[in-house]
Amino acid sequence: MTPAGVLPATTPSSKTIRFSTELEWLSGGAALLRGAGKLELGVAPPAEFRGEANVWSPEQLFIASVDTCLLLTFTGLAEKEGLQISSYCSEAEGALEWVDESFRFTNLVLRPTILIRNEADVAIARDLLDRAHATCLVANSVRTAVTVEADIRQQR
């Protein structure tokens, strides 16, 4: 067994990459999330489920995971294409609804605001964002529809 978060050496031809985490239950619904070489993160149910309002919930981490994946995929593509990005900020929200006798996320909306240095590159950024959305591995791994509502414009 490898320590949490430690990956075996992989090559581009590898078909499987494994990621791992560890959880330690504290009490009630509270736990510590760990990964090798990473800061511990307290997690608990959201306040809506009698949890702790000031602690990260799995629901928030789920939304953040999809949002972060889009950012990292986009910036990776932009770097590869030589696109100059001035800034990238994002807000995200998910709708948790009662469906088929349990709660599940029915949609996520990601709202990145991306500032680009040159007006001519705005169309390129939009194309790269579309490619990032289509190839974001986290979004492609969930049943929930993920919508991207981007604001891309030249920095003034």
User: Residue 2: its pLDDT value, please?
Assistant: 44
| One domain for residues 145 and 74 | yes
Residues of the domain holding 40: 1-56
User: Residue 15: its pLDDT value, please?
Assistant: 84
- Alpha helices for the chain (secondary structure H): 58-81, 122-135
**What is the total count of domains within the chain?**
2
The pLDDT of residue 115 is above 80: yes
Q: What is the pTM of this model?
A: 0.85
Lookup: tokens for 86: 């001035």
Assign residue 87 the CATH number of its domain: 3.30.300.20
| One domain for residues 26 and 68 | no
User: Residue 66: its pLDDT value, please?
Assistant: 97
57, 43 contact by CB (below 8 A): yes
Distance CA 122, CA 3 (A): 43
Q: What is the pLDDT of residues 52-87, one digit of tens each?
A: 889 999 999 999 999 999 999 999 999 999 999 999
| One domain for residues 139 and 95 | yes
